[in-house]
Structure 1
Amino acid sequence: MISDDGGEFGKTVEGSQLARGRILDWFHIAMKFQAAERSVFGSKMIDSMERESVETEIIHAKWLVWHGKGGKALERIKALDSRLLAREGYEFKTLWWYLNTVSSYLKKNAGTLVNYGARHRKGLPISSSIAESAVNQVVSYRMAKKRQMRWTDEGAHCMAQVRVAVLNGEFSPRRISALKIADIDYGMS
């Protein structure tokens, strides 16, 4: 199962017969690194010569995570942060905040980091962004006000539960035939 570091998926993975574990979504990792990279350009305490060096360190750390070396990436970010901490006022800058955000994100999710490059080359998913986009589009379409067949909040929740049961193999054709169709509430208003 691919997700961000949100805790809501922990029980889903534990209760699923299909999921083998959780993988941290590459999109969320990349966004953390991108924010750190951008903050280098806005930092007035780093001159133009050193700016390239700092940005290169961040890019190399991101490369290490991509190749499944999260521990080494964390060491590299911490070393960069320590080097910059020698400067007066650095701990109040945006760059400090973003480097610490990346560092704590990687540390918190160390057990869910994988070799994203290898997965990508094998054609395996590394991000949930496509699924999230599809879900957002379908749900927002059905939940929009002034829609003729709008879902209620309860109906959308029930639909999500049914979909998860189908994906987990817990909602088979045998079980469907046992249900009384008249008793199903589709949750439409």
Structure 2
Amino acid sequence: MKADEAGQFEFQFAARDLDQMRAKLWCGKVTTARWLLCAAAGELRRVDRKQHSRRVVAKINRLAQMIIEFDRYLEINQSSMPNYAKRSLQGLPVSSSRAQSSANALVNRRMNKRRQMRWSPQGAQRVLQTRVAVLDGRLQDGRFSLAA
């Protein structure tokens, strides 16, 4: 087997793990997804970088770094990851795009340079957090804390 073929095989294995990881995340199985993510990272670590060009090695290193960062994100947010498959079966929305577009429209309108009172990006984020806390009842319960 040539070096190119071996490299493609290794990358295909990592891609298969990543596809399975995405399916596990859809079903809310974060621990299993993180395990698959680590397996893909392990496969990338085993790639013989001497057999590839600098450009390919740079891409391998960037992908490995992105996997590490995504794993850290999943670790931090594991408890709040939704089970999209369950929500979909129950007829519940699986996207927050309507809320996000409304928030973006509000911020863009307020951030317009021609307005007399303009928000700073940090101020806009705080106002949006407060509005969300009011809508979901966290502000009344006293459980609201600003994100850093």
Structure-1-length-normalised TM-score: 0.52
Name the structure 2 match of 1:141.
Answer: 109
Distance 1:127 1:46, change over 3 A: farther
Task: Identify if the C-alpha distance between structure 1 residues 165 and 151 changes in structure 2 by more than 3 Å, giving closer, same or farther.
Answer: farther
Which among 26, 49, 52 is matched to residue 12 of structure 2? 52
Q: Secondary structure at the match of 1:109?
A: helix
Whole-angstrom CA distance in 2 between matches of 1:106 and 1:169: 24
State how many pairs are aligned: 126
Deviations 1:116-147 (A, max 9, x none): 11112323233433212111112312331224
Structure 2 runs not aligned, ≥5 long? 50-56, 141-148
Distance change (3 Å), C-alpha of 1:78 and 1:45: farther
Q: Could you list the runs of 5+ residues in structure 1 that have no partner in the other structure?
A: 1-43, 172-189
| Other-structure match for 2:119 | 153
Question: Of the two structures, which has the highest relative contact order with CA contacts closer than 8 Å and spacing of 6 or more?
Answer: 1
Decide which structure has greater helix share: 2
The answer to whether residue 47 in structure 2 is matched with residue 79 in structure 1 is no
In our comparison, the structure showing a higher alpha carbon Rg is 1
User: Any idea what the Cα deviations from partners look like across 1:32-78, whole Å, max 9, x if unmatched?
Assistant: xxxxxxxxxxxx89733443332121011010010111111111111
1:64 aligns with 2:24: yes
For residue 125 of structure 1, the aligned residue among 81, 93, 107 is 93
Distance 1:56 1:120 in 2: 24
Mean Cα deviation higher: 47-56 or 106-115: 47-56
